[in-house]
């Protein structure tokens, strides 16, 4: 397990939040008409991960270069925490030729082979792919692991159950991470999932499962560390479910009327100010550091947005490229 570095965890969470806040702002900045999700410099759907930073940061702090992640439609926090280049990722979100995928993927389909990072916009379908990556790592005799990330809604997909069985059966170095943000778009978990904890489902497939109730980055760090160590040692897969928080809508433009009273308390549950307060109380974070960490992150995000907006677009003819290798 990696050494716990609280300041690094905090810094990475702030960096991601600054990124998501800025994307939120830029996404809406030039929509004309405002309701047209296909308009503007950033077109299409936008699923932001604000509130879920503890999951990505706690898990990725235990990963090393060469480990793989399959992320779902809400991928930015895991991408950034796993080392995907912010400039190339932003350019992709802007549909530019300098983007990770030359403008062919967009925000739900980010592929970074250098970091073994990929996304799928189809719920639960990243799980089997992660199993295959883990299978490859094992066959090659490496100690790399694959992390399969999806939301609580994905745990009701067949792909999830098939993958848990395969991974346990073949003792694959996979860590299944479920981000339980209470909501599968507008359907509350209590209406979708029979089990109170997906950790119980893991046990049903013969692998360790833990549920972390409080969206605590350090608890995620510890649990992921143990699971990743286990996988690297050849002892097979584990599942970690984190009860996290969807601070914003399912996608940008989601009015969230369905959330009712749940929305009234989201700000007080925001994990970043809570962690800042905890670190301040421990004497590990000062006002000055809070400001400098925020401004460093803002500067990095600024540079990424500038890189993206000043990058060339692909041409229409480029749409015909890359169907086949």
Partner 1 sequence: MTTTETQTRRITTAKAMAEGIALEMRRDPDVFVMGEDVGPYGGIFGSTTDLFDEFGADRVIDTPISETGFIGAGIGAAVEGLRPIVELMFIDFYGVCMDQITNHMAKIHYESGGNVNVPMVLMSATGGGYSDAAQHSQCLWGTFAHLPGIKVVVPSNPYDAKGLMISAIRDDNPVLYLFHKGAQGLVWMEKNPRSIGHVPEESYTVPIGEAAVAREGTDVTIVTLSLSVQHSLDVAEQLSDEGVSVEVVDLRSLVPLDTGTILESVAKTGRVLVVDEDYKSFGVTGEIAAVIAEHDPTMLTKPFRRLAVPDVPIPYARVLEQGILPTRDKIAAGVKDLMS
Pick from 82, 74, 76: nearest CA to 116:
82
158 or 273: CB nearest partner 1? 158
Does 219 engage in binding with partner 1 (CB under 8 A)? Answer: no
Residue 99: phi and psi, rounded to 5, are: -70, 165
Sole window of 21-29, 109-117, 228-236, 304-312 interacting with partner 1 (rule: CB under 8 A)? 109-117
Residues 252, 101, 306, 115, Cα dihedral to 10°? 100
Q: Work out how close the CB of 47 gets to partner 1 at its nearest, in angstroms, rounded to a whole number.
A: 16
CB 226 within 8 A of CB 235: no
Q: Is 191 exposed, middle or buried (0-12, 13-18, 19+ CB in 10 A)?
A: exposed
Q: Work out how close the CB of 4 gets to partner 1 at its nearest, in angstroms, rounded to a whole number.
A: 30
Residues in the chain, total: 325
d(CA 204, CA 168): 10
36 or 322: CB nearest partner 1? 322
Q: Which of 16, 149, 166, 293 binds partner 1 (CB under 8 A)?
A: 166
Indicate the angle between helix axes 86-93 and 6-29, nearest 10 degrees: 20
> Could you count the other beta carbons within 10 Å of the beta carbon of residue 205?
18
Residue 251-290 contact track with partner 1, rule CB under 8 A, x = bound: ----------------------------------------
- Compute the C-alpha angle 304/307/310, nearest 5°: 145
Compute how many residues bind partner 1; rule: CB under 8 A: 44
Does 171 engage in binding with partner 1 (CB under 8 A)? Answer: no
Sole window of 43-51, 160-168, 232-240, 289-297 interacting with partner 1 (rule: CB under 8 A)? 160-168
12 or 118: CB nearest partner 1? 118
Task: Write out the H or E segment, with its range, that includes residue 175.
Answer: strand 174-180
Sole window of 30-38, 78-86, 137-145, 202-210 interacting with partner 1 (rule: CB under 8 A)? 137-145
Q: Is 281 exposed, middle or buried (0-12, 13-18, 19+ CB in 10 A)?
A: exposed
Half-sphere exposure at residue 154, Cβ-oriented, CA atoms within 13 angstroms: 29
Residues 42-101 touching partner 1, rule: CB under 8 A, are: 68, 70, 99-101
Q: Which of 22, 28, 109, 232 binds partner 1 (CB under 8 A)?
A: 109
32 or 139: CB nearest partner 1? 139
Does 294 engage in binding with partner 1 (CB under 8 A)? Answer: no
State the alpha helices, DSSP H only, in 82-212.
Answer: 86-93, 126-139, 158-169, 189-192, 198-204
Pick from 7, 97, 16, 89: nearest CA to 285:
7
Q: Work out how close the CB of 114 gets to partner 1 at its nearest, in angstroms, rounded to a whole number.
A: 9
Does 156 engage in binding with partner 1 (CB under 8 A)? Answer: no
Q: Which of 105, 236, 237, 271 binds partner 1 (CB under 8 A)?
A: 105
Sole window of 1-9, 12-20, 31-39, 129-137 interacting with partner 1 (rule: CB under 8 A)? 129-137
**Residues near partner 1, by CB under 8 A:** 68, 70, 99-105, 109, 111-113, 116, 118, 120, 122, 125, 127-137, 139-140, 146, 158-159, 162-163, 165-166, 169, 321-325
């Amino acid at each position: 397990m990696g050494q716990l570095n609280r300041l690094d965890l905090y810094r990475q969470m702030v960096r991601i939040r600054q990124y998501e806040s800025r994307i939120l702002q830029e996404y809406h900045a030039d929509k004309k008409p405002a309701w047209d999700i296909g308009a503007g410099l950033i077109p299409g759907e936008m699923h932001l991960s604000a509130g879920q930073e503890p999951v990505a940061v706690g898990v990725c702090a235990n990963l090393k270069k060469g480990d793989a992640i399959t992320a779902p439609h809400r991928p930015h926090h895991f991408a950034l925490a796993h080392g995907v280049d912010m400039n190339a990722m932003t350019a992709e979100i802007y549909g530019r030729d300098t983007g990770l995928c030359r403008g062919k993927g967009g925000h739900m389909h980010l592929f970074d082979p250098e970091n073994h990072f990929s996304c799928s916009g189809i719920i639960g379908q990243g799980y089997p792919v992660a199993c295959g990556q883990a299978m490859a790592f094992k066959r090659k005799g490496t100690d790399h692991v694959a992390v399969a990330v999806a939301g609580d809604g994905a745990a009701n997909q067949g792909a999830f159950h098939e993958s848990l069985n395969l991974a346990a059966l073949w003792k694959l170095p996979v860590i299944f991470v479920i981000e339980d943000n209470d909501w599968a778009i507008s359907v509350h978990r209590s209406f979708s999932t029979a089990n109170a904890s997906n950790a119980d489902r893991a046990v049903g497939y013969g692998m360790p499962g833990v549920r972390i109730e409080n969206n605590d980055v350090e608890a995620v760090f510890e649990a992921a560390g143990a699971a990743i160590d286990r996988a690297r040692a050849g002892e097979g897969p584990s599942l970690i479910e984190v009860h996290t928080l969807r601070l914003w809508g399912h996608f940008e433009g989601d009015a969230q009327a369905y959330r009712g009273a749940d929305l009234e308390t989201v700000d007080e549950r925001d994990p970043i100010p809570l962690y800042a307060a905890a670190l301040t109380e421990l004497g590990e974070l000062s006002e000055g550091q809070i400001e400098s960490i925020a401004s460093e992150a803002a500067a990095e995000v600024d540079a990424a947005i500038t890189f993206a907006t000043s990058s060339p677009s692909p041409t229409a003819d480029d749409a015909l490229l890359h169907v086949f290798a």
